[in-house]
Chain A
């Protein structure tokens, strides 16, 4: 486990993700109440990480909520990795909930195709806040913040949305993951590079090509409230959960491995 450093902030309670490798990297888990950006390109395991995080929360009596922006939850559930530890009673008992954001847009009378105004952002965050209160949610995932950001053309509006959302969730001691999609050619980890500056943590997933092999990787770039490893790891999505091992360095130098 990485040595604890001065920035560890002593006694901050941890929200163990239940993903052994990530908890090891973070010295026990995400500092509770943190808002963390999970950023990466397609097919790198972002959604699987988020779902496993929520399932472990629900299994440990922490109500967990997944909010889908683009893909209907029913479709997501059909394509989910059949984790050995998943128990569909968690959903029936309301410990693990799936909500589609377009339904909230409709209820609030927000046109999801148009750009959002400042007032609509406020109402959207209030609606999420009400849901978190209503279900006593302790773990929250928004998949994806990128899709919401496309309705926020102004950098200031993205900033406003994320600041409000982060403050509301943190005040409720709710640990949250915001999924961000970006392509390898983009600079930064989110749309217009706003989210990574505002969120408490950034976990980056990626595809690393090494001599024709494509490896899924994970790296914690930033996490407020704890010391952590900043090394790159290789991950595997399995029915036993997400597994991580260190990326072998011999292969990452030109001509190596």
Chain B
């Protein structure tokens, strides 16, 4: 089974308003995005709100265009482009937060997007907990996740939090266990077959 198919199937098996920690390797990154945004979100008629603190939203948008994934229902909250002083021109589907340390503003922008697009249920992707952990200490990050995830749950939104296995620490794992309903790991079947 491909990573794209695997993630779509695993997410589809979860009840609405689930909060999921998605543990993946860096080599699975774009396959995971495709599985969530193209297969899972399309199938379930979801609006996607994608928080990126790992790479600029424009890079993800470029990749989505290559993969021919339509952007109509995908909106970005980008908290890395401004701090990187990258290109001033912004995509119309991208909202910038000045810095990944402005965690409250991440919540506010998602709230704003939910108000702007209330027609469909939402899938909120946080990419990634590891990059947010570079800029924030565990205490404030745990507090943020606790409030954020519970708020999204109350809106009936799916939450998927990326955790890159190569950069995971015990603190991050514990944090995710507390706030998430499920932890999904990708590629175990594929790895087992390869071995």
Q: Is B115 an interface residue (CB 8 A)?
A: yes
Asked whether B191 is an interface residue with its Cβ less than 8 Å from the other chain, the reply is no
Looking at A25-33, A89-97, A172-180, A232-240, the stretch in contact with chain B turns out to be A232-240
Contact of A215 with B140 at beta-carbon distance under 8 Å, contacts A240-B115, A245-B111 already known = no
A114 within 8 A of B: no
Given A248-B144, A250-B140, does the pair A213, B98 have CB atoms closer than 8 Å?
A: yes
Asked if B137 contacts A257 (CB within 8 A), the reply is: yes
A256 within 8 A of partner (CB): yes
Neighbouring B residues of A168 by C-beta, 8 Å: none
Q: Which of B101, B105, B142, B147 contacts A246 (CB 8 A)?
A: B147
Query: Could you tell me if B108 and A236 are in contact, using CB atoms closer than 8 angstroms?
Result: yes
Q: Does A72 contact B (CB under 8 A)?
A: no
Q: Are the C-beta atoms of B101 and A248 separated by less than 8 Å? A: no
State the CA gap A251–B144 with chains docked (Å): 10
Q: Which of B139-171 contact A (CB under 8 A)?
A: 139-144, 147, 151
In this complex, how many residues of chain A approach chain B with their Cβ under 8 Å: the count is 21
CA separation between A235 and B111, bound complex, in Å?
A: 11
Tell whether B107 is near chain A: CB-to-CB under 8 Å.
Answer: yes
What is the CB-to-nearest-CB distance from B134 to chain A, in angstroms, rounded to a whole number? 13
Q: Is the CB of A236 within 8 A of B112?
A: yes
Q: Mark A223-244, 1 if CB is under 8 A from B, else 0.
A: 0000000000011101011010
B102 interface residue (CB < 8 Å to A): yes
Q: How far is the CA of A213 from the CA of B144 in the complex (A)?
A: 16
Beyond A234-B108, A243-B111, A257-B137, whether A250 also contacts B143 by CB under 8 A is: yes
Q: Is the CB of A247 within 8 A of B143?
A: no
Which residues in B have some Cβ–Cβ distance to A below 8 Å? 98-99, 101-105, 107-109, 111-112, 115-116, 136-137, 139-144, 147, 151
A36 to B108, CA, bound (A): 26
How distant is B127 from chain A, measured CB to nearest CB, in Å?
20
**What is the distance, in angstroms, from B121's C-beta to the closest C-beta of chain A?**
18
Near B by CB (< 8 A), chain A positions 178-231 give: 210-213, 215
Do the beta carbons of B105 and A240 come within 8 Å of each other?
no
- Please determine whether A257 and B104 come into contact, CB atoms closer than 8 angstroms: no
Which of A211, A238, A245 is close to B104, meaning CB atoms less than 8 Å apart? A245
Given known contacts A240-B115, A243-B108, A243-B112, A211 and B101 CB-to-CB distance under 8 angstroms: yes
Given A256-B137, A257-B136, residue A213 in contact with residue B99 (CB < 8 A): yes
Closest to B116 in A: A240
**Minimum Cβ distance to chain B for residue A134 (Å):** 36
**Do the beta carbons of B111 and A250 come within 8 Å of each other?**
no
With both chains docked as a complex, state the minimum distance between the C-beta of B166 and any C-beta of chain A, in angstroms.
25
CA distance A235 to B141 in the complex (A): 19
> A238-B112, A243-B112 are known contacts. Are A256 and B139 too (CB-CB below 8 A)?
yes
**Chain A neighbourhood of B105, CB < 8 A:** 215, 234, 236
Given A213-B98, A240-B115, A245-B147, are A250 and B104 also a contact pair (CB < 8 Å)? no
Bound Cα distance A215, B106 (Å): 12
Contact A248 B140 (CB under 8 A): yes
- Measured CB to CB, the closest approach of chain B to A145, in angstroms, equals 29
Which listed residue, B107, B109, B140, B144, touches A256 by the CB 8 Å rule?
A: B140
A251 to B99, CA, bound (A): 14
Kindly list chain B residues whose C-beta atoms are within 8 Å of the C-beta of A235. Answer: 108
- Given A243-B112, A247-B104, 17 other A-B contacts at CB below 8 A? A210-B101, A212-B99, A213-B99, A213-B101, A215-B105, A236-B108, A243-B108, A245-B151, A246-B104, A248-B143, A250-B137, A250-B140, A250-B141, A251-B101, A251-B140, A256-B137, A257-B137
Write the chain A residue with the least CB distance to B113: A240
Q: Are B107 and A245 in contact (CB under 8 A)?
A: yes
Q: Complex Cα distance A245/B98, Å?
A: 17
Q: Please, which residue of chain B has its CB at the minimum distance from the CB of A210?
A: B101
- A54-75: contact bitstring with B at CB < 8 Å (1 yes, 0 no)? 0000000000000000000000
